[in-house]
Structure 1
Amino acid sequence: MQQPKHLLQLFSFSLICLICLHYLLVPTNKGYGIQETGSAPSSGTEPPIEGQSSPKPIPSKNFMGTFSPTDPPAPFVTIRVRVSAQASPNDELEYRILVENHSPAEAHQVRIRNNIPTNAKFVRASPPPDSLEGELIWKLGSLPGNSSKEIKLVVMVTGTGEVDCISRVQYEHGQAVKTQLASPLLLKMTGPIQAMLYDTLSYQIDVFNTGNSELTGVQLTNIIPEGLEFLTSKPSTNGENPLVWNIGSIPGGQSKRLEFQAAVKKTGEFINKATVTTSSGMKKETSSKVEVGEIKLALNMGGPDRRNINRPASYQITITNSGNQIVRGIKVSNKLDPSTQFLAASGGGRYENGEVKWLIPQLAPKQRQIVQMVIKPTVAGTLKNRTEVTADKIPTGWQVEKITVFEINNGLVTEIDKSIDPMEIGEQTALTIRLINYGQNPIKNLILTAISPDTTVVTEGRGPTNFSRQPDKVGFLPLPSLEPGKEVTYSLFLQAKKPGDGTFRLEYTADEGISGKAEETISILPSSKAPASNEPPALP
């Protein structure tokens, strides 16, 4: 009796094992098989349809395989309606209709359609509907991403039974794409970006056919701006503005070059504009901009107003580049009067055939250079000391002159020399004052007073005796004696404070009723904020 029971248990265990093995090896979507739910379809595919094969994924690249677009987010708009669950006849029911855009993308042409609820009549709505014919319609237009819009609809119950209300939302979503057609026609212009007045400018224009087919009816037009004047071209054209070249055909993969020259007649900014067209309607444009500056040199000359003959007279010549272009090849010359003798020159100046000459290789914009010369007059009279300056690429030069009266004086004679003349605001000049006794007797108790113009301020003084200083005046204590044929030297330092010409005055007194005065012009220019490339050294 025990053996059959044992066999029955063994059979049941074997059957259970077979059933488990069957379900492990043969999974199914029906019955007791394992089923995945809630899985989203893979990106770029449509959900599978039963009985059909899965669709192919949407390609992520175009047919050329060079561009991988990323689709922008799509709008997702829903509508929710809330209203009281119970009402009585003649009651007002308020429907709250909420339209929500759950996506960051904007939804367009949003429309709300709502039937007029059954067993009720329309009372009001906020906002009012755009249409009341047959059904209520609200045209909301665009609904920004992650935003909502609420509509309040009020109706009055007019009958018995249920009040049915159906709200629907409609909106548009689309994508715009563009395919750019590559043109085989290319145009390039090469020209200078900076130039100076009266320069000759050279331009090159290249027309390229980057395709495989021939381009026909190719025509190039170039408009020369006012301020430039056409000179010549290769190949030639009639020279009328605009310039026109009928190129004809350009085979695939080849190019055509045209060249022309123009002269600069004005300063400013000028743009050459070139256009190329073909018989098939292709068109390309390009341009080349050039900035033309003018050479401008400011020239000043300083020196003594009066001087005794046979005494050294020093002159300073200041050349400033006041333009916006580098000036090269600057030549400075001063032709001496036959009645004067050359003594010295600074800054590499040389004396040749009665003329003092300097060569300045170049001056950058706002840069200046000061040169100096010393001459000795031998004849009394009024001398116009004239300096001329020329530079490369300019048709005319500049001139400046300084007038000095050369005299024959006996007794006590004064001389005033300036280290910088003219000055700029903020600069300082050293005045060297000499008192010379041309008389036969000593001059006793010589007192000297110096008065500066209101364009300057006295910063320091030096002399053989002590002195007292005020901003515009310096007084020296008496010099006991100045012997015949001797001279005494005083120094004053003046700082320029405002532009203009002013008069520096000297007054002196001595025993035996000796007195006199001397004057010298102090010229001050506005600051150019330009460093001097070479300050003049001290000359005898």
Structure 2
Amino acid sequence: MLVAALALLAASAPVLAIDLAIEITPDEPYASDVLKVRVMVGNAGTAPVHDLRLELTYPTGLQTTSFANISDGGVCTGTSCVSGNTLSWDLGTLAAGATRTVHLPPTVASGVSEDTVIQFSLEAFSGATFLNNTSQSVRVRNTPRLAVFIDPAADPLPHGQAQHYAISFANQTTQASTNSELRVSLPADTTLVYASDGGVQVGDEVIWNLEIVQAGQADRRHFSLLPGATWESGELMTIETVQFSGTIDNQAADAIARTATRIESAPDLSFHLSFGPDPARPGTLMVGRLTVANQGLDTASGVTVELPYPRFLNTTSFASISDDGSCSGTSCVTGNIVRWELGNLQPGEGRSVFLPPTTVSSIPNGRPLLVQARTRADNRAAVWHRQTLIFGQDRPLTLEVEADRKPARPGEPLRFELSYGNAGSAAATDTALVFPVPAGTTVIDFSAGGSVQGDALVWETGLLQAGQTGRHWVRVEVDPVLADGELIRIDQARFSGQLDFISRTAWGRTQVRVEQEPALEVALNPGMLPIRPGSVVPIEVSVTNRSGETLDGLRLEMPYPAAFGTTSFANITDDGVCSGTSCLGGNVLAWDLGSLPAGQGRSVAFQGVVGSGLASGRLPTLNVRAIAQGQGDAWSRRTLLTDSQDRLSVAVVAGQDPVASGNDVEYRLSFGNPSQVATTDA
């Protein structure tokens, strides 16, 4: 929930225009939910505000919050924040046209009853001078209901650019919602650029007619807005109402969400996060990747990344978090803030950090995994990104999107693979795969059956049997004008279809950093596809030094996939190890390889045994990062198609590895039919 306030303070000149907003997610929490509270302040005036202080009344209905989990040095009277305290942030000077966001992740107390209102009150001061105030509240709801969430793509939004939004909605009840609608109120002086899935503008609203939303069903819609000329840097553009409504058991039901975007000059830092798979499922391994890059003209110092650790994730040890990321305490739990201190980023340099948490085993249908994070640096505007994933026990369709190289070079081809599957027990009909062509690229070619529809490629994949998987690809050219540090973003790829007359959708996202001369290149090679329960899968990882000098401190890191059972170190080459005495899902498998001369490469390998519980149609992924001292990192990702029915198999082996430039390479392809029936038209 969000509310904004604007105060204009004028003497003769200059003018101070202090904009405030409180954003609280979720809007209607359950008892024991973790709230994502963001407090935003903007200076839309013509003069800086000095000695800026924000004071937030810590409300009743919340558990105690320690200072370690409050951003930007926020403190309360006492040793932690409890009901009735004043939480203060001393923020120094806020320049004209600038904004600032602080945050905290308080937890709703476990005994809070239905319809309890939790109210946050905020005041802003310049020294002892009062500037503005606002307040916002949320209402506790402990019974299953409709739910809706909205995620802006850019925060801050560069002045004059369009904002893209994703709306996630779910029916958390046990009955269908009929006459269902999704409505978004548009801010003044904005133009609707795009609305997905038949959304139409009616007056100052965008409306989607959803008709029937079945019990446990979740989906997503997208739209884009362009702010008009009256919007100034330092203002906060708010979406006051996102409403998901319907009729359940002859009773009206609805859910509300709100959000705000800081309007500011283009930030020097670019930032993107991706957690998957999406939709989320209980008891599964997630891989979260957060990428920051410096698009400025000088060194960014003191670069940090902060991730409030979401609810519904199991405890994660520091040993499984990359780049010395840590929380207060000895591990990361719900309500903590994961922090990475990354030091300096040179102009055009980027870095990705990661963690591989596991979702808890029991989560009610339709509950959200709310992921939001920020990056900041000394004397740089902070940049936020967030993602909402909806949980469900029955999420049969699957989708993974991967790029063949990260980072990518301007002017060179970049290939995306889209792997999809049906992990359900029934066939999926009318399936379709949609890949929005990312900004900053031009399509070169794509796999058979695809067609260009507007700004997207679409494959009508039709009937997909239970357990069946498939793959399509698209090759694009990275625009030659893209600068080092820019990000190519895939946020809206989707695979949809009908199962038992219910619409189902899976989503895929990834990001690729642009770099003119990446020093490292890394590749993953699974020795067999598809994989099957009980099969032994050899995995090779190759890394190459493409720079003109020796690279020191070379390290490979791979979140160990949960699809494989425990692997002993004896099955890992080159002294690769995990924390503990063997590797299992949620660990990080690491190789410390020392120095790598210019132009040379190195390969390591391990063997994994596929677990017996892996269902056909699921899409486990392999992710590996290569990093060396003083260099940006490189990534590779491969999706493992699954097939428990042991049908066809194929393997390819290079005759020479490595091979000298200009020499021929001979490849040997082995294929077979291990099933009990003949294959035709092979």
Assess same fold via TM > 0.5.
Answer: no
Larger RCO: 1 or 2 (CA < 8 Å, sep 6+): 2
Structure of larger gyration radius: 1
TM range (shorter): 0.3 to 0.5
TM-score (norm. length: structure 1): 0.34
